Amino acid sequence: MILDLMTAIATPDPRDSAGTGKARRLFTGAPPKVLSIAGIDPSGGAGLLADIKTFTALGAYGCGVVAGLTAQSTQGVTAVQLPSAEFVGTQIDTLLADVAISAVKTGMLGQATNVQVVAEKLSKHGQDNLVLDPVMIAKSGDTLLTKEATGLLRDALIPLARVLTPNLPEAGALRDELGPETIKEMTRTCERLHKLLRQENNRWILLKGGHLPGGELIDLLYDGDRMIELRAERFDTRHTHGTGCALSAAITALIPQHKDIPSAVTHAHTWLQQAICRADELQISRTPQTGHGPVHHTHALCIA
């Protein structure tokens, strides 16, 4: 398990026989290298910047491929630009030719050609630990992927996923139907979505239930056999921007450090609840009463 940084700072290194007070090293040996392929949110609340913070907080070395650019703050998005699919592919080839990546996360891909090239490159390089966050529908309800790109995501990229992490509207869109509105419907949706993955062992759906009403959040983790409920308290905060990015990035960081997917996802789920609980501490926006700030990715590094 990753040590809390404050504990690490406060605990002398047992090898420090001279009593110089040097802090214990946070990591032993080289950390796992993980990759996010996503867009840039300049406010740092979501996308690639948030993923890198999450990777670091959970003991992984983060690498990134830029699939999109936004002009964005806690108040919203004002503009989007997308690099060419060729350049996205060149970034992936260049990085993976040199760095041994243990797990990959995809987030905002933005266009069909990006989806296609990411699928081709991950297959080419044999990347088998893919956490796919299908960034298709924003909290506002805005569509973030065209119908063509959604079709490619479903047909070319999702079959490569180790863990697929849709929210409820995205789960519906992937099946060309309305998203589930009850826990019972979520269960059936997990079963249907799992058919989009390779039908082999250790392929998982993590269906996020945050859009359902009520004071308790329930996510479902399903591998075609086991249906695992992950329950959490719903915190009273408006600062939940990038929650889905943070969860999928946390799972990506933890897969190489855990014995199996359920334990990695459970650890990531627990970490995220604290990141949400302490989000109000960040005070990112000049006008926090109107903005939607991020979760606190580095909460374990800060004294509450």
- Ordered by start, the domain boundaries in the chain are 31-301
242 labelled catalytic: yes
Mean pLDDT of 73-84: 92
To the nearest whole percent, how much of the chain has pLDDT over 70? 88
CA distance 114 to 68: 10
Q: What is the pLDDT of residue 69?
A: 94
- Asked if 218 and 209 count as a contact pair (C-beta separation under 8 A), the reply is yes
147 labelled catalytic: no
Tell me which of 47, 64, 242, 293 is the catalytic residue. Answer: 242
Structure confidence at residue 28 as a pLDDT band (50, 70, 90): low
CA distance 170 to 176: 10
Residue 11 in this model has a pLDDT that exceeds 70: no
Q: What is the pLDDT of residue 302?
A: 80
Q: What is the pLDDT of residue 71?
A: 93
Q: What is the pLDDT of residue 146?
A: 79
Tell me which of 74, 106, 165, 240 is the catalytic residue. Answer: 240
Nearest to 145, CA basis, from 22, 56, 39, 216: 39
For 260-293, the DSSP string reads SHHHHHHHHHHHHHHHHHTGGGS--SSSTTTS-P
Tell me which of 44, 245, 291, 293 is the catalytic residue. Answer: 245
State the chain's mean pLDDT as an integer: 87
Q: What is the pLDDT of residue 35?
A: 98
Q: What is the pLDDT of residue 116?
A: 97
126 labelled catalytic: no
243 labelled catalytic: yes
Residue 291 in this model has a pLDDT that exceeds 90: no
66 three-state secondary structure: strand
| Length in residues, the chain | 304
Residue 4 in this model has a pLDDT that exceeds 60: no
CA distance 238 to 189: 28
Residue 18 in this model has a pLDDT that exceeds 80: no
Structure confidence at residue 141 as a pLDDT band (50, 70, 90): low
68 three-state secondary structure: strand
Tell me which of 53, 105, 121, 208 is the catalytic residue. Answer: 208
Options 3.30.1360.120, 3.10.310.30, 3.40.1190.20, 3.40.720.10; which CATH number does 31-301 get?
3.40.1190.20
Nearest to 169, CA basis, from 198, 145, 197, 191: 145
Mean pLDDT of 110-123: 96
Residue 119 tokens, joined: 């699928």
240 labelled catalytic: yes
Half-sphere CA count of 136, side-chain side, radius 13 A: 28
The winner for highest mean pLDDT among 70-79, 146-155, 239-248, 259-268 is 259-268
Q: Where are the beta strands (DSSP E) in 172-254?
A: 204-207, 216-222, 227-233
Residue 27 in this model has a pLDDT that exceeds 60: no
Q: What is the pLDDT of residue 12?
A: 37
Structure confidence at residue 6 as a pLDDT band (50, 70, 90): very low
Tell me which of 165, 243, 252, 291 is the catalytic residue. Answer: 243
To the nearest whole percent, how much of the chain has pLDDT over 90? 64
